[in-house]
Chains A and B, each alone.
Chain A
Amino acid sequence: MTMVTPNPALSRASEEAQEIRRPFSAKVFGFIRRQPLGTVGIVIVVVITLAGIGANWIAPYNPISDHFSAMLQPPSWQHLLGTDQFGRDILSRIIFGARTALIVGLSSATIGGLSGLVLGVASAYFGGRLDLLIQRVLDIVMAFPLIIMALVIVSVFGTGVDNVIIAITIPLIPRCARVVRSSALSIREVPYIDAARACGFSHARIILRHMVPNVVAPFLIMVTAFVGQAILIEAALSYLGLGVQEPVPDWGLMLQGGAEEYAATAPWIAIFPGLAIMLAVFGANVFGDALRDVLDPRLRDR
């Protein structure tokens, strides 16, 4: 009797085929079972996104409108998270603040990530002097701590959402480019890239059709991590007075001014925006971790 040893590659392929055939709900429940923390992260990110998009309908009060009759009120049924020194509803300001956080977080992460992707892949693919030049420039940018670099850029260009996005995006570019380049370097050496070259495909086609799809996994993981980082830096810049300005609802901005002055007598002014920042960053980070686990074949079966 001959023992048949199962081929591991065939068995994995068969499992993947089964996975594809599973209904969507089963996939979702599977993900929740395998990634409970990641699920929490996704829920937080989704809630914040929905809050940001639907702030106009969800927020119970106008976030910039003063209500002097309701100054410094503690949390109550009327104002679930209390009011600040101008009588503005903290919950409404947090909901609208999600919009600023999302705009800055997503824009910076996406633009910074995509720019890093282009530079990283181009650097790896072309190699030689171009690679050397790009890497040294990126080294210089990376030599500055992220927050210091952002501070310098905002000081030069001025405050405001647009400039804050630029300030956060620039330091993110080399971080993404580095990771993408290391993945792209290994892909550059595989035979199908040589085959594509031998077929006479253009550089653009080789990069876009054969290299980029193979570095998408680490790229997506980086981008999700960047969202959390960008939200945190935006809050820091606003807290330092270099981001958006009053009365625009913004989580970092809500931590300065009244929150500092009334920290002892009305702590809710500082606590809830602080919690919002913490949750948003936590959500984006654990979502990124879960994405890494799902997209990395080595971690998928753990």
Chain B
Amino acid sequence: MKWKMAAVATGALLGMIGCLGPANAAHQKPRYGGILHYMVAADAPPSFDGHAEGTFATLHPFAPFYSVLIRVNPKTPSNTGDIVCDLCTHMPKPTDHGKTWTFTIRKGVKFTDGTPLTAADVAASWNESIFPPKGVVSVRQKNYIMVKSVAAPNPTTVVFHLKFATSAFLPALADPFAWIYEKKILDKDPHWYDRHVMGSGPFKFAGYQVGQSVKGVRNPDYYHKGLPYLDGFVATFAPKEVVRVDAIRAGRAAIDFRSLSPASAQELKAALDGKIAVQRHDWVCGNLLYFNENKKPFNDARVRRALTLAINRWKGAPALSKIAVVNPTVGGIVYPGSPWAMSKTKLEKIAGFWPNIKKSRAEARKLLKEAGVPHLSFTFINRNVDQPYKYVGTWLVDEWSKIGVHATQRPVPTGPWIASGRSGSYEVYMGAALCRSIPNPPIDVQVVLPHSFNAGNVGYYEDPHAIALYEQMLHETNPQKQHQLLDAFQKYMIGTKAHEIPVVWWYRTVPYRTYLHGWKISPSEYINQDLSHIWFSPPHCGKCSLTPPKTADASPK
């Protein structure tokens, strides 16, 4: 009888201990204090300017310094349709048949240099993104082709006038890169934000160690009362996954927000049983392969088609998902989780997605022979980031070798990788242009449109028919018909012409230390990265106060 009672008591005790685990954190009150150390899975970015860059290497370390007009609700980031105000006071209803959107800006918001933030700053920042002055890069400019003008008629009102009403406008406006800059600075030097940081976000910039780390401290004047919880953060650049995993394992970092491979997550869980939690999600991100159509033989559609026909995506994606941050689901240029995505039956009719790989590769060899390059040889530029770039690149080299193509992979650091795309000094280029903040397919598919339409495109080709197809789809108001037009556009771009080809979509696996709370995964690595809701459980929060400190603590070590 005694042993039975002992067993029951032990079971009850274990049950209680279990309840005190990470799940219990949801019932804890957030504490103030602590320095968040996290890893950024890349080399230092080419610039600090969110308007000019589209990489997480810029967003992860610098987003905490900035505010945005509207954003995906940080409390429910996996629901990208739940868009809420950040700098505005309430979500407006459009007027003028959906063509005018008027936002009221919060009062009392200050930049960290003490200057009050007004509607003029918001309008100036959006004007820089949508209508960049000559010499200023805005990689998302074409996301706003529906915008006619942005104005600030008074210090608390910003008005967006649209050329045509579209449901694609609001998700585009909730872009997490659309940081609000100070108008005075932009007027003086539009390139100032390339190398400087000054915003109105939850954290104040505290230093940048060239190529190594970015530091931030709590902004005591942050307008969302009671936020942020952390005293500061240190973001450390480390392109090698093994370095990031070691940092988390050794306690030098709490998280890598982007993603780790399934094997690394498993390894961390095994090594730090009970001290690691994992969040997983489909990822609105994928690899897109560019061909430099300024260079022979990539100006020949037969060659591009052959290269996509050689890839066995149906077998490769599920296999790669076991070792890399790859989604086992195959998709075109529309996020496979979206209702706008092409059905499998339709996808299988597009070159490169045929279910019969033997037939596909035979066709590829035939096309290469016809194009006069049966033993094509080229170098393709890849990003020097293991997950999933180098894994996917290595797989592609093998896939192409099966049709007699000799490809040499050349991984380069983030800066040169972006630069080689922009300068056109490549033959074939592995990009990540399918990465999006909020799935917004009618706008997202612009990535494959030529440079004359989409400044971010590095394919160096012109195709007026492609632009016409896109415009027709975008302006279609009947959703069913618009979906059909989108399918036709996809088929033309990635199959018939193969200007650019989707390779694989990704899958997020984010292991992190269980003392970190308040962060929720989303389908995008860009959403919910201002760190304002993150807090630590004792003892990692230091003094662990339940009330916000009055001033910012000293710079993080």
Q: Can you list 17 A-B contacts (CB < 8 A)?
A: A64-B397, A68-B319, A71-B322, A85-B323, A86-B323, A86-B394, A86-B395, A159-B410, A160-B408, A241-B384, A245-B409, A247-B398, A257-B386, A261-B241, A261-B267, A264-B267, A264-B270
Interface residues on A, range: 20 to 34
From A71, A160, A260, A264, give the contact of B323 (CB < 8 A).
A71
From A64, A160, A245, A265, give the contact of B263 (CB < 8 A).
A265
B442 at the binding interface (Cβ < 8 Å)? no
Q: Mark B407-420, 1 if CB is under 8 A from A, else 0.
A: 01111000000000
A66 at the binding interface (Cβ < 8 Å)? yes
From A85, A86, A241, A265, give the contact of B267 (CB < 8 A).
A265
A246 at the binding interface (Cβ < 8 Å)? yes
Q: What 10 pairs across the A-B complex have the smallest Cβ distances? A: A68-B319, A260-B242, A246-B394, A85-B323, A247-B394, A245-B409, A66-B398, A247-B397, A261-B263, A64-B398
B484 at the binding interface (Cβ < 8 Å)? no
Closest to B408 in A: A245
Number of A-B contacts (CB under 8 A): 58
| Chain A residues with CB under 8 A of B390 | 246, 257
Interface residues of A (CB under 8 A from B): 64-66, 68, 71, 85-86, 159-160, 241, 245-247, 257-258, 260-262, 264-265
Query: Please, how many angstroms separate the alpha-carbon atoms of A85 and B386 in the complex?
Result: 13
Query: Please, how many angstroms separate the alpha-carbon atoms of A160 and B261 in the complex?
Result: 28
- Distance in angstroms from A163 CB to nearest chain B CB is 12
The answer to whether A71 touches B319, judged by C-beta atoms less than 8 angstroms apart, is yes
| Chain A residues with CB under 8 A of B263 | 85, 261-262, 265
From A68, A241, A247, give the contact of B411 (CB < 8 A).
A241
- Distance in angstroms from B163 CB to nearest chain A CB is 47
Query: Please, how many angstroms separate the alpha-carbon atoms of A246 and B410 in the complex?
Result: 9
B401 at the binding interface (Cβ < 8 Å)? yes
| Chain A residues with CB under 8 A of B410 | 159, 245
Query: Please, how many angstroms separate the alpha-carbon atoms of A241 and B410 in the complex?
Result: 10
| Chain B residues with CB under 8 A of A260 | 240-242
Given contacts A68-B316, A261-B241, list 16 more A-B pairs with CB under 8 A: A65-B398, A66-B395, A66-B398, A68-B315, A86-B323, A245-B409, A246-B390, A247-B394, A247-B398, A258-B323, A260-B241, A261-B264, A264-B267, A264-B271, A265-B263, A265-B266
Closest to A261 in B: B263
B393 at the binding interface (Cβ < 8 Å)? yes
From B240, B241, B393, give the contact of A246 (CB < 8 A).
B393
Closest to B264 in A: A261
Query: Please, how many angstroms separate the alpha-carbon atoms of A261 and B261 in the complex?
Result: 9
- Distance in angstroms from B262 CB to nearest chain A CB is 10
Most buried by A among B240, B266, B270, B384: B240
The answer to whether A245 touches B241, judged by C-beta atoms less than 8 angstroms apart, is no
Give B34-48 interface residues, CB cut-off 8 Å to A: none
Give B393-436 interface residues, CB cut-off 8 Å to A: 393-395, 397-398, 401, 408-411
Query: Please, how many angstroms separate the alpha-carbon atoms of A85 and B319 in the complex?
Result: 10
- Distance in angstroms from B197 CB to nearest chain A CB is 29
| Chain A residues with CB under 8 A of B264 | 261
Q: Mark B252-276, 1 if CB is under 8 A from A, else 0.
A: 0000000001011011001100000
| Chain A residues with CB under 8 A of B240 | 260
Query: Please, how many angstroms separate the alpha-carbon atoms of A86 and B411 in the complex?
Result: 18
Closest to A158 in B: B410
Most buried by A among B264, B266, B271, B397: B397
| Chain A residues with CB under 8 A of B393 | 246
Query: Please, how many angstroms separate the alpha-carbon atoms of A86 and B390 in the complex?
Result: 12
- Distance in angstroms from A249 CB to nearest chain B CB is 12
Most buried by B among A245, A258, A262: A245
Query: Please, how many angstroms separate the alpha-carbon atoms of A152 and B540 in the complex?
Result: 42
Q: Mark B116-140, 1 if CB is under 8 A from A, else 0.
A: 0000000000000000000000000
- Distance in angstroms from B107 CB to nearest chain A CB is 51
| Chain A residues with CB under 8 A of B323 | 71, 85-86, 258
- Distance in angstroms from B248 CB to nearest chain A CB is 14
Closest to B409 in A: A245
Query: Please, how many angstroms separate the alpha-carbon atoms of A160 and B240 in the complex?
Result: 20
- Distance in angstroms from B409 CB to nearest chain A CB is 5
- Distance in angstroms from B90 CB to nearest chain A CB is 47
Contacts known (A68-B315, A71-B322); A245 close to B398, Cβ less than 8 A: no
Query: Please, how many angstroms separate the alpha-carbon atoms of A160 and B270 in the complex?
Result: 38
- Distance in angstroms from A156 CB to nearest chain B CB is 14
Contacts known (A64-B398, A85-B323, A257-B390); A245 close to B267, Cβ less than 8 A: no
| Chain A residues with CB under 8 A of B319 | 66, 68, 71
